[in-house]
Structure 1
Amino acid sequence: MGHWIKSFFDNYISGMYFPDVRLTDIIEILIIAAIVYRVMLWIKNTKAWMLLKGMIVLAAFIAAAALLRMHTILFLARESIPALATAAVVIFQPELRRALEKLGEKNLLNNINPFDRSRDNHRFSDGTLESLVKASFDMGSVCTGALIVVEQATQLTEYEVTGIELDCKVSSQILLNIFEHNTPLHDGAVIVRGDRIVSATCYLPLSDNMQISKELGTRHRAALGMSEVSDALTIVVSEETGQVSVAMGGQLVRGITPEYLSTRLSQIQFRASELKKFNIWKGRHGHEEV
């Protein structure tokens, strides 16, 4: 038995190469794994997911051609790779831009900066919170469609300039007036910064999420789209059903209650990020739907 083990070790084990694994190598592997995981989560609900599936099919086809030694196909594939890479960058430029925007939202330097006292300040007052909740459900009770974007850390200047500039204190009466049917400002979104309404009739980016219910209209797609490109919280009131929904962090929760909306707004009332709490609360909420 001992001779067999020695023979096996001499023939198979002794000739194998075992690289030195350092702590930095392990950290590097973990970083790469985390990046790949985040990229996979990001592309899952975008057009890039179809690109990935197409690349997998193409890779399988090229692998089969390599096994069967189809030299012409391999030559064409080798020569086409640079052109395909350039075409992918051009076609998926909006998705790549969105990914970079998401990366910029992390605010890592601000989070680790102990001297940044501004993070302890309120984003908006309790009066603004109550006005947002009251206006949303008052409009819902009479089926008045509305789209209200509550800005957080990410500045929404590029969307603000697409609308009509305002500078007024948030109140339920003003919001009801803005979104009243057939008024000049009712179409589009309102952007709230702190305790002020800064713009109305704003255009928001529509979501490319393929899993959105077909029942949802442009307002809900715009709310979800805004939540995908920024850290803003967006309130949607359906013109058809009067149902109030909220979008944040790429998630849409439909048919919420005044208590739920009040809780969500109170959680983002401070400068610290509350996206994680939103996802936890969403999972516990009884009527979430995308």
Structure 2
Amino acid sequence: MTIIPWVIPIRLVDLLEIGLVAYLLYKLYLLMRGTIAVQIFFGILALYLIQVLVTAANMTILRALFNSISDVFVLALIILFQPEIRRVLLLLGQNPLIRRFVRSPAQEAMIGEVVAAVAEMSKRRIGALIAFERTTGLRNYIETGAELQAKVTKDLLITLFFNQNPLHDGAVIIRSQRIEAARCILPVSTSMSLSPHLGLRHRAAVGLTEQTDAFVVVVSEETGHISVARNGELIQNITVNELRSYLTEALSPQSAAETEPAEV
């Protein structure tokens, strides 16, 4: 009698699936490394191993307890790992192949309106301070200003910062391609590394980016120079084309670690 050895058939799709799962687990590990999520994960793993032992030992009361917990287990995972799930989704959104299909014409139009307004205000030396909300909510700062809920247009931005307008002081905050509020109060940076010649607008721009991941555009009333602030850093005297590049990069789907914008 001939014994045929047991062979597991392996298809190409199986290899692709293994590779994809390994890649996703690796990316998940990179996102969770150094965070409290790792400790939570090991705690959940320990509970799962205890449940396996309880089931194997046929402990009736403990098994019933674990069964009741398992009913809300998936919901608990979503709540506990909400930041990590969000970061995974942002990582997927940052993929160039996906971004090619999900590029928003409305966002490109909004960037065009902002760039045109900033270029005009720079030419006319109209001081401006425009903050863009990214992943960190800016509601606390929005509530300090006058709520607008308006579409972003060149004419509206110029009008808001015109020095005879009662709303021209403070910042305009843009969220999800809409002007949320004007005359908003931003935290002022006290960093000693900043030039003592910088005005309040520039220090407020840096101050907001020190506390959040917002992206801020500044137009100097004295010189008309355009600057941008991000991650507590102020980049001064940039061109209109550079501004468009910085804005496009900053408002694209981002992971927690920010990348440098492309050279203009």
Shorter-chain TM range is 0.5 to 0.7
The structural deviation recorded for 1:163 is 0.1
- 1:110 counterpart residue number: 86
Aligned partner (choices 159, 166, 182) of residue 148 of structure 2: 166
Distance of aligned partners of 1:275 and 1:122 in 2 relative to their CA distance in 1, 3 Å threshold: farther
Distance in 2, Cα, partners of 1:191 & 1:167: 10
Give the distance between the partners of 1:115 and 1:262, measured in 2 at CA.
Answer: 23
Q: SS of the counterpart of 1:183? A: coil
2:20 aligns with none
Tell me the CA shift for residue 181 of structure 1.
1.0
C-alpha contact (below 8 Å) 1:148/1:191 kept by paired residues: yes
Cα deviation, 1:13-46, whole Å, max 9, x if unaligned, reads xxxxxxxxxxxxxxxxx969xxxxxxxxxxxxxx
8 Å Cα contact 2:167/2:182 also seen in 1: yes
Alignment of 1:73-222 (within 5 A): 107-112=83-88, 125-222=107-204
- 1:116-138: CA deviations, max 9, x gaps? 87996668611110111111121
Instruction: Provide Cα deviations, 1:120-167, integer angstroms capped at 9, x if missing partner.
Output: 666861111011111112101111100000111111000000000001
Q: Work out the CA distance in 1 between the residues paired with 2:170 and 2:91.
A: 39
TM (norm. structure 2) is: 0.61
Tell whether the 8 Å contact from 1:206 to 1:226 is kept in structure 2 after alignment.
Answer: yes
Match of 1:266 in 2: 248
Aligned Cα root-mean-square deviation (Å)? 3.0
Paired with 1:276 and 1:156, the residues of 2 have a C-alpha distance of 19
Deviation of 1:271 after TM superposition, in Å, equals 2.3
Change (3 A) 1:111 1:274: closer
8 Å contact kept, 2:87–2:255: no
Give ranges in structure 2 of 5+ residues lacking alignment.
Answer: 1-32, 36-82
Question: 2: distance between equivalents of 1:122 and 1:193?
Answer: 17
CA contact (8 A) 1:151 1:193 kept: yes
TM-fit CA distance, 1:222: 0.1
Distance, in Å, in 1 between the alignment partners of 2:205 and 2:121 is 17
In structure 1, the residue corresponding to 2:258 is in which secondary structure? helix
1:252 correspondence with 2:231: no
Residues 268 and 274, structure 1, Cα contact 8 Å, conserved in 2: no
Query: Structure 1's 122 and 239: CA in aligned 2 closer, same or farther, altered over 3 A?
Result: same
- Give aligned-pair identity as a percent: 36
Q: Which residue type is aligned with residue 149 of structure 1?
A: A
Structure 1, residues 50-78: CA drift from partner, whole Å, max 9, x if none?
xxxxxxxxxxxxxxxxxxxxxxxxxxxxx
Question: What per-residue deviation string (whole Å, max 9, x for no partner) do you get for residues 89-131 of structure 1?
Answer: xxxxxxxxxxxxxxxxxx4442235998799666861111011
Change in CA separation of 1:131 and 1:210 when aligned onto 2, cut-off 3 Å: same
Give the length in aligned residue pairs: 180
Q: 1:274 offset after TM fit, Å?
A: 7.7
Q: For residues 257 and 171 of structure 2, what CA distance do their matches in structure 1 show?
A: 22
- Is the 2:186–2:207 Cα contact (8 Å) retained in structure 1? yes
Residue 220 of structure 2, aligned match among 238, 262, 269: 238
> How many Å apart are 1:194 and its aligned residue?
1.7
